[in-house]
Structure 1
Amino acid sequence: MAKRIEVKDLNVYYGSFKAVEDVSMTVEPRSVTAFIGPSGCGKSTFLRTLNRMHEVIPGGRVEGSVMLDDDDLYSSKMDPVNVRRTVGMVFQRPNPFPTMSIFDNVAAGMRLNGVRSKKVLTEAVEKSLRGANLWNEVKDRLDKPGAGLSGGQQQRLCIARAIAVQPQVLLMDEPCSALDPISTLAIEDLIGELKSSFTIVIVTHNMQQAARVSDKTAFFNLAATGKPGRLIEIDDTATIFSNPKQKATEDYISGRFG
């Protein structure tokens, strides 16, 4: 069950420094939303607030609300571990657990959640690897180290690991920035397939990628170095790239700054 994300009046801090200011947006279920904007404008920081990863950083805190359907992610009753189980994350660089096999990498989250049945784990690992379009490439070497795969395969392994615990939302922080063009295309194709089951939010510096994979695009910017990042505009991707409402969006997309 993919879920809707509703963000209202969100401010994000590192200690006393306000990194992101006054963001409100809606992310629809079973869709891909891309965050674009210059480096340092708070895209990745904001992304990490959507599964409470931001508060892992010393001094990290937020004001405002993030609703996942009817659940307030920042409610005192909400367990951050459960939030991160519901809202999975794939990072910029592939990070398979280096001492674990391919099978154990995918099964790690399920085992952490208390799943012990070999049959259940085996079925879930195959389903997740198929979901990440990796099964046919690794089915005969599941006992080999995950770190022995190519970069693109490692990133798909990390996606399989993320979806194995059946999240409703998948966050991706520049998932293709460390990959070659062929691996990038494989990940983009995979994102297109996964959105039928998940709500996906992706941070990317690749404008063409945002145009290719996303249904909606959000443009972030900051007034100057040291100032907080702000959401300038969010709209259908086709509108953002062909007829944005804000001049700053048009300037960034056309390469006049950033």
Structure 2
Amino acid sequence: MAQRIDVKDLNVYYSAFKAVEGVSMSVDPRTVTAFIGPSGCGKSTFLRTLNRMHEVIPGGRVEGSVQLNGRDLYGKDVDPVAVRRTVGMVFQRPNPFPTMSIFDNVAAGMRLNGEKNKKVLQERVEKSLRGANLWNEVKDRLAKPGAGLSGGQQQRLCIARAIAVQPQVLLMDEPCSALDPISTMAIEDLINELKTEFTIVIVTHNMQQAARVSDRTAFFNLAATGKPGKLIEINDTDKIFSNPAEKATEDYISGRFG
């Protein structure tokens, strides 16, 4: 199920403003890649290009290539909605649909894709909630509102919703920034479990989190405010944190700036 991502010479624009410049990288299947860097350096913007989510902002466009197992996600015949089914996303703040039950939150994407079979829906909802390590906590209240769960549970519900449509890649944009340490640990444990099935890319401002959960780490930076963000280096996480190739990476990780 998990697929490889290959990005080559990617520039990201919002109208005339170049937000990200010249990014090339590959992400292997069944790995976790973390994006780190100071605020405003383009890491979340770049993350959103991996499932064309940046296009929902007026003027959002790219130059360059993003391929999933060799298929160009920006090809003329490619439907952005189909891309977002293949490359799922979990956002910074938990965003369960407030008027929907826990069950309906998880089933929403499947129903949108045309699935009507009750047995299939029930089986996939249970599998997804188990996959998000939430089933035992909610199995007796599936008809209750998803918005009634705690913050950490809501984030795991959103992860269950994302994996229910069986994507091949899971993008996470600072998924723990609004959570307490115990909920953060639960999400990190979950990421380690999910990488056996999915290719995972996570944006985080938490250095320790990047070190704990990722196999590879990419450091982004920008020369000055208003300049485009750039990928400074990407390497195995152990190497980035112990012996980075670039001084800017070392300065950021050691807290000298950012």
* 1:158 equivalent in alignment to 2:158: yes
CA distance in 1 between counterparts of 2:255 and 2:179 reads: 23
Aligned-partner SS, 2:152:
helix
Residue in structure 1 matched with residue 107 of structure 2 by the alignment: 107
Amino acid at match of 2:99: T
CA distance in 1 between counterparts of 2:78 and 2:15 reads: 22
CA distance in 2 between counterparts of 1:206 and 1:85 reads: 28
Residue in structure 2 matched with residue 22 of structure 1 by the alignment: 22
Residue in structure 1 matched with residue 209 of structure 2 by the alignment: 209
Alignment of 1:26-41 (within 5 A): 26-41=26-41
CA distance in 2 between counterparts of 1:3 and 1:71 reads: 11
Aligned-partner SS, 2:39:
coil
CA distance in 1 between counterparts of 2:14 and 2:121 reads: 39
CA distance in 1 between counterparts of 2:251 and 2:31 reads: 26
Alignment of 1:51-200 (within 5 A): 51-200=51-200
Aligned-partner SS, 1:249:
helix
Aligned-partner SS, 1:225:
coil
Superposed CA deviations along residues 168-199 of structure 1, whole A, max 9, x for unmatched, are 00000000000000000000000000000000
Please report how far the alpha carbon of residue 56 of structure 1 lies from its aligned counterpart in structure 2 after TM superposition. Answer: 1.0
CA distance in 1 between counterparts of 2:246 and 2:254 reads: 13
CA distance in 1 between counterparts of 2:56 and 2:9 reads: 21
Amino acid at match of 1:101: S
Amino acid at match of 1:83: V
Aligned-partner SS, 1:11:
strand
Residue in structure 1 matched with residue 8 of structure 2 by the alignment: 8
Aligned-partner SS, 1:217:
strand
Amino acid at match of 2:207: M
Aligned-partner SS, 1:34:
strand
Superposed CA deviations along residues 184-240 of structure 1, whole A, max 9, x for unmatched, are 000000000000000000000000000000000000000000000000000000000
Please report how far the alpha carbon of residue 96 of structure 1 lies from its aligned counterpart in structure 2 after TM superposition. Answer: 0.1
CA distance in 1 between counterparts of 2:244 and 2:178 reads: 29
CA distance in 1 between counterparts of 2:13 and 2:37 reads: 19
* % identical aligned pairs: 87
CA distance in 2 between counterparts of 1:132 and 1:95 reads: 15
Aligned-partner SS, 1:167:
coil
Please report how far the alpha carbon of residue 70 of structure 1 lies from its aligned counterpart in structure 2 after TM superposition. Answer: 1.6
CA distance in 2 between counterparts of 1:43 and 1:183 reads: 24
Superposed CA deviations along residues 100-155 of structure 1, whole A, max 9, x for unmatched, are 00000000000000000110000000000000000000000000000000000000
TM-score, scaled to structure 2: 1.00
Residue in structure 1 matched with residue 240 of structure 2 by the alignment: 240
Aligned-partner SS, 1:35:
strand
Please report how far the alpha carbon of residue 257 of structure 1 lies from its aligned counterpart in structure 2 after TM superposition. Answer: 0.7
Gaps of 5+ in 2: none
Residue in structure 2 matched with residue 229 of structure 1 by the alignment: 229
Amino acid at match of 1:115: E
CA distance in 2 between counterparts of 1:167 and 1:94 reads: 19
Q: When the two structures are aligned, how many residues end up with a matched partner?
A: 258
CA distance in 1 between counterparts of 2:161 and 2:179 reads: 18
Aligned-partner SS, 1:38:
coil
